[in-house]
Amino acid sequence: MSLEIRGLRKSYDGRTVLDGFDLDVRPGEFVALLGPNGSGKSTALRCAVGLERPDAGEITSAPAAMVFQGIHLVRRRTALDNVCTGALGRLPLRRSFFFPNTLRSEAMECLDRVGLADRAAERCARLSGGQQQRVAIARALCQRAEVILADEPVSALDPAAAAQVVELLRQLASDGLAVVAVLHQPELAHCYAHRIVALHNGKAASPEVTR
Ligand SMILES: Nc1ncnc2c1ncn2[C@@H]1O[C@H](COP(=O)(O)OP(=O)(O)OP(=O)(O)O)[C@@H](O)[C@H]1O
């Protein structure tokens, strides 16, 4: 299992958000996490990646990276530079200003996997929203993540770009990653996810196998 969450509990200001949330995601699996606004979907992902401390529960995860709705690229830098920053956590400090060629090659491979090798030298500000989100996914790949946690990755995109990004997430899962994406579009979840998990009353409702 790439990601195992058991009995996750989290409250804010005395209000219970997660109340025994469980989730298992295998390598090769794309899970869509659905649920109403405020049901705790982001909180669950943030706990899984270590951005939030749970009140209780156990999380076991292979190296994980998060992708956000807001994308968070450095817009004036090139797509390739942005992807290279995925490796900052494993670079010595002196290397973090001029990325070594080996890293640039790895970042190019990551851009290739998201279909954007031909835009590597383009400043991110000049890319479309969907392309920018694919660059952010390439950056997660350059982190050498085995688990990708995507929090509403397509909510800001037009329908065609959204479908392309969700299809890419499915492809990456088919290549062996474990992928969890919070989606607000049930039709995309049904079309592309291997499995849908619904968050209800702080718990995972029975998973529904879609494919
Ligand atoms: N840092 C925080 N401090 C206080 N309350 C928080 C914090 N983070 C989240 N919450 C609250 O926890 C609840 C769950 O939030 P969360 O963002 O996880 O829900 P969500 O299912 O992702 O919602 P949405 O679909 O609207 O993004 C909400 O009521 C939110 O206001």
Per-position pLDDT tens, the chain of length 211: 899 999 999 999 999 999 999 999 999 999 999 999 999 999 999 999 999 999 999 999 999 999 999 888 999 999 999 999 999 888 776 655 678 899 999 999 999 999 999 999 999 999 999 999 999 999 999 999 999 999 999 999 999 999 999 999 999 999 999 999 999 999 999 999 999 999 999 999 865 555 5
Beta strands in the chain (DSSP E): 3-12, 15-25, 30-34, 56-61, 64-68, 147-151, 178-182, 195-200, 203-204, 208-209
Q: How far is the CA of 43 from the centre of ligand 1 (A)?
A: 6
pTM to 2 decimal places: 0.92
- One domain for residues 53 and 156: yes
Ligand 1 pocket check for 41: Cβ under 6 Å:
yes
The total domain count for the chain is 2
Residues β-bridged to residue 32: 181, 196
Q: Which domain holds residue 192?
A: 1-62+146-211
Ligand 1 pocket check for 37: Cβ under 6 Å:
yes
Residue nearest to atom 4 of ligand 1 (CA): 12
Kindly state whether residue 67 falls inside one of the protein's structural domains: no
Q: Are 1 and 26 in contact (CB under 8 A)?
A: yes
Instruction: List CB contacts of 115: < 8 A, sequence separation 6 or more.
Output: 134, 168
ipTM value for the complex? 0.96
**C-alpha–C-alpha distance, residues 134 and 101, integer Å:** 22
Q: How far is the CA of 195 from the centre of ligand 1 (A)?
A: 23
Ligand 1 pocket check for 12: Cβ under 6 Å:
yes
Q: Choose one of 88, 120, 145: the last residue of a domain.
A: 145
Quick one: DSSP state of residue 78?
Answer: B
